[in-house]
């Protein structure tokens, strides 16, 4: 057996979400699809950086899964939350069950209520794939 570690960055570039706003895949951004079908293990990683030193509220990331890249969950497969800490980058890693064939970022919500308290975010899928040699 051989192992390969892969990283899928779900957004091509960091996304800045205004205060009290939900950004949705297909409208505000286009999520990259992560192929996890051959994965032995996997993890989701979320990151958020506040746009003001006073940022201290939560950012919610909703992820969808699919078995065929056509029919996506209508209810999030998993929702992850991270609390901002001023202008510091905050990162959270969560193990996920594999194999799921595809994952994508469905939406991101910044719960800050003060104008200008943006959240700059990104999300990644890390997988360890197994191959027979």
- Four-way CATH pick for 2-131: 3.40.50.300, 2.60.120.230, 2.60.40.420, 3.20.20.70: 2.60.120.230
pLDDT digits (tens, 9 = 90+) for 87-123: 999 999 998 876 678 889 999 999 999 999 999 999 9
Average predicted confidence (pLDDT) for the chain: 90
Residue 85: exposure state from Cβ atoms within 10 A (0-12, 13-18, ≥19): middle
CB 3 within 8 A of CB 95: no
pLDDT digits (tens, 9 = 90+) for 20-40: 999 999 999 999 888 776 677
Helix/strand/coil percent split, the chain, to 5:
0, 60, 40
Mean pLDDT for 70-97 is: 93
Domain boundaries, the chain: 2-131
Positive or negative torsion for Cα 32, 33, 35, 39: positive
């Amino acid at each position: 057996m051989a192992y390969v570690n892969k990283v899928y960055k779900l957004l091509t570039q960091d996304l800045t979400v205004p205060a009290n706003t939900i950004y949705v895949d297909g409208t505000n951004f286009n999520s990259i699809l992560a192929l996890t079908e051959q994965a032995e293990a996997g993890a989701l990683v979320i990151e958020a950086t506040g746009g003001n030193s006073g940022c201290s509220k939560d950012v919610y990331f909703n992820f969808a899964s699919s078995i065929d890249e056509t029919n996506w969950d209508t209810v999030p497969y998993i929702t992850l939350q991270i609390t901002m800490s001023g202008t510091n980058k905050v990162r959270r890693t969560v193990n996920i069950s594999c194999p799921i064939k595809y994952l994508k970022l469905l939406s991101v919500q910044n719960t800050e209520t003060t104008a200008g308290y943006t959240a700059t975010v990104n999300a990644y899928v890390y997988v360890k794939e197994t191959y027979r040699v």
